Structure 1
Amino acid sequence: MPKKIGIFGGTFDPVHIGHLRSALEVAEFMALDELRLIPSARPPHREAPQVSARDRLAMVELAVAGLPPLRVDDRELKRDKPSYSIDTLESLRSELAAADQLFLIIGWDAFCGLPSWHRWNELLEHCHILVLQRPDADSEAPETLRNLLAARSISDPLSLEGPGGQISFIWQTPLAVSATQIRTLLASGKSVRFLLPDAVLSYIHAHGLYRASN
């Protein structure tokens, strides 16, 4: 049987329950064999992460420990160049069987910005795209994506066939948690308990991360 592998990238600065709950829900709904959280080293579309790649990787590893099918993939941190999704997909695809299904999981805002991604029109050659969409999201896609959606979208994510090439949407009600919010709270000395796993919080305190002086 072909494997079903999801990939969920981000700076994870720090990883929090919003990331983890979304990842776990998708993994269970899609019956994925594994879902890889891939910390980015140099994200092309946002500011550089506040803490080191080593610390961000350690926090994600702590967050998913003992929680299959979630796992960590550090390939982008080993690359000495910006973290382009197309490079990651090509690298992953080279390791998989031809029939294995690969799912790129992104949020609605990221999906709307897809035309600004490096070699974005090649992404579907390597994977399916699963878009996490909130009920309150603006449901109108940019004009540059409408033809692509008309040709490639499938209404039922569970009906995606083959190794890649199609787009589907998974509706979620996300937890109102953001890494920016967590960093702000930590810098002001306030508690972030229950916004991220206890093991991640312990790591942050042990290493003095996100303090106002950082």
Structure 2
Amino acid sequence: MTGNLQQKPIGLLGGTFDPIHHGHLRLALELYERLNLAEVRLIPSANPPHRESPAVSAELRLEMVRVAIDGLQGVVADGRELMRSGPSYMVDTLKSIREEEGARPVYMILGMDAFMNLHGWHRWDELLNYAHILLVRRPGKLLPMTHVMRGFLDLNRAKTLDELQIRPSGKIYIEDIPPLTISATQIRGLLATDRNPRYLLPRPVLEVINTHQLYR
């Protein structure tokens, strides 16, 4: 890699972001800096097919993402899933990004729990056609020895990050990162009981929540 911005990989972090919080943001910033990415894109899911519908509209969740990252270098909002009707399938999102980015390496960022459930995703076995998987793991956490995804991981695992940087897609790489133990469920629970979630999420996000009386 030459370090040219056009050649640096991009990271994709999808989720409901219901609401976005410092755990999401710290992970995005950590990966942006640690892996020398061109950017990390935060992609709110409009109609997530694998979980209950979010408590807040996709438009407001995208607004919260945008105010959360205002002025933050290297992290951007991507609202493409709001532009599509029907379920928000990641394979469709990756395909559209691949069409835009050509041969640039693309990293789909997943936590361990999401990866272990990947076999339930729509056309999950096609995801590596369009992107690499960057599997974020808590330091010291062991991989399950027997699981349907274990063979998929072993078959496609990259031992070094260089293996991802020389091709646009097709590999799985594990990066150990200490988590911030913050959850959107925790924040929604605090708001629902009229408690203050300050310092768990950015102040501008809390202002949007209070303005629209969300999660009450």
TM-score by length of 1: 0.94
CA offset at residue 203 of structure 1? 1.2
Name 2:131's counterpart in structure 1.
127
CA RMSD of aligned residues (A): 1.4
Name 1:85's counterpart in structure 2.
90
Q: Does 1:7 align with 2:12?
A: yes
Name 1:208's counterpart in structure 2.
213
Which ranges of 4 or more aligned residues in structure 1 deviate by more than 6 Å? none
CA offset at residue 138 of structure 1? 4.8
Does structure 2 retain, via aligned residues, the 8 Å contact 1:112–1:142?
no
Does structure 2 retain, via aligned residues, the 8 Å contact 1:157–1:170?
no
Paired residue secondary structure (2:195): coil
Question: Which structure 1 segments of 5+ residues have no match?
Answer: none
CA–CA distance in structure 2, aligned partners of residues 185 and 39 of structure 1: 22
CA offset at residue 60 of structure 1? 0.1
Q: Does 1:168 align with 2:167?
A: no
Query: Equivalent of 2:38, from 27, 33, 58?
Result: 33
Name 1:19's counterpart in structure 2.
24
CA offset at residue 62 of structure 1? 0.3
Does structure 1 retain, via aligned residues, the 8 Å contact 2:46–2:81?
yes
Residues 95-127 of structure 1, C-alpha deviation per residue, up to 9 Å, x if partnerless? Answer: 112x20100001100000111111111111111
CA–CA distance in structure 2, aligned partners of residues 63 and 30 of structure 1: 22
TM-score by length of 2: 0.93
CA–CA distance in structure 2, aligned partners of residues 141 and 25 of structure 1: 28
CA–CA distance in structure 2, aligned partners of residues 142 and 103 of structure 1: 25
Quick one: which amino acid aligns to residue 192 of structure 2?
A
Counting only pairs closer than 5 Å after superposition, residues 106-185 of structure 1 correspond to structure 2 as 106-135=110-139, 137-140=141-144, 143-160=147-164, 161-185=166-190
Quick one: which amino acid aligns to residue 82 of structure 2?
L
Paired residue secondary structure (1:94): helix
Question: Which structure 2 segments of 5+ residues have no match?
Answer: none
